[in-house]
Amino acid sequence: MDIRHLKIFISVAETGSMSATAKTFFITQPSVSQVIKELENHYHLLLFERLGKRLFITPAGQQLLNQAHIVVRQFDALEESFSSLGSKEAIRIGSTITVGACLLTSLITDFKQSNPNIDSFSYVNNTKMIEERLLKAELDIGLVEGEIKHPDLIIEPVIDDYLVIACSRHHHFAGRQELNAQELEKEIFVLREEGSGTRELFIDFARSKDLTLNIGWEVTSPEIIKTIVMRNNCLAAISIRLVTEEIENGDIYAIRHQKAIWNRSFSLVYHKDKHLSPAVSSFMDIARKYGNTDMMITAPVGHLV
pLDDT of residue 86: 54
Asked if pLDDT for residue 79 goes beyond 90, the answer is: no
The helix (run of H) or strand (run of E) holding residue 62 is helix 59-83
- Select from 83, 99, 126 the last residue of a domain: 83
Residues 253 and 271 in one domain: no
pLDDT band with cut points at 50, 70 and 90 for residue 87: low
- Cα–Cα distance between 194 and 127 in angstroms, integer? 10
Q: Which domain holds residue 139?
A: 90-159+265-292
Q: Are residue 224 and residue 168 in the same domain, yes or no?
A: yes
150 and 288 co-located in one domain: yes
Residues 254, 173: one domain? yes
What is the rounded (10 degree) CA torsion for 198, 203, 204, 207?
170
Q: Are residues 216 and 198 in the same domain?
A: yes
* Strands annotated E in 84-235: 90-96, 119-125, 141-144, 153-168, 178-179, 188-191, 214-218
What are the residues facing 48 on neighbouring strands?
57
Is 166 found in the same domain as 153? no
Check residue 290 and give its pLDDT. 86
Q: Is the pLDDT of residue 19 over 60?
A: yes
Q: Which of 36-45, 83-92, 136-145, 180-189 has the lowest mean pLDDT?
A: 83-92
What's the pLDDT at 274?
86
Same domain for 8 and 62, yes or no, is yes
> Using an 8 Å Cβ cutoff, are 66 and 74 in contact?
no
> Among residues 39, 67, 83, which one ends one of the domains?
83
Residue 3 identity (one-letter amino acid):
I
Give tens-digit pLDDT for 56-77. 999 999 999 999 999 988 888 7
Phi, psi torsion values for 82, nearest 5 degrees: -85, -25
CA distances from 75 to 121, 274, 281 (A): 22, 11, 21
> How many domains does the chain fold into?
3
Average pLDDT over residues 228-246: 94
What letter would DSSP give residue 104?
I
What is residue 57's three-state secondary structure?
Answer: strand
Pick from 15-24, 50-59, 150-159: least confident: 50-59
Q: Are residues 168 and 259 in the same domain?
A: yes
> What is the secondary structure of 15-36 as a DSSP string?
HS-HHHHHHHHTS-HHHHHHHH
DSSP 3-state assignment of 216? Answer: strand
Do 279 and 154 lie in a common domain?
yes
35 and 151 share a domain? no
Q: What is the CATH number of the domain that holds 213?
A: 3.40.190.290
**Of 63, 83, 103, which residue constitutes the final position of a domain?**
83
Q: Is the pTM of this model over 0.85?
A: no
> What angle in degrees, to the nearest 10, is found between the helix axes of 18-25 and 29-43?
110
For the chain, give the mean pLDDT: 91
Q: What is the CATH number of the domain that holds 99?
A: 3.40.190.10
The answer on 196 and 206 residing in a single domain is yes
| Model confidence band, residue 174 (pLDDT cutoffs 50, 70, 90) | very high
Judge if 281 and 198 occupy the same domain: no
Assign 3-state DSSP to the chain and report helix, strand, coil percentages, each to 5.
45, 25, 30
Report the CATH number that the domain containing residue 55 is assigned in CATH: 1.10.10.10
Give pLDDT, residue 78.
79
Give the DSSP per-residue string, 228-261: HHHHH--BEEEEHHHHHHHHHTTSEEEEEETT-T
pLDDT of residue 83: 64
| 8 A C-beta contact, residue 13 and residue 72 | no
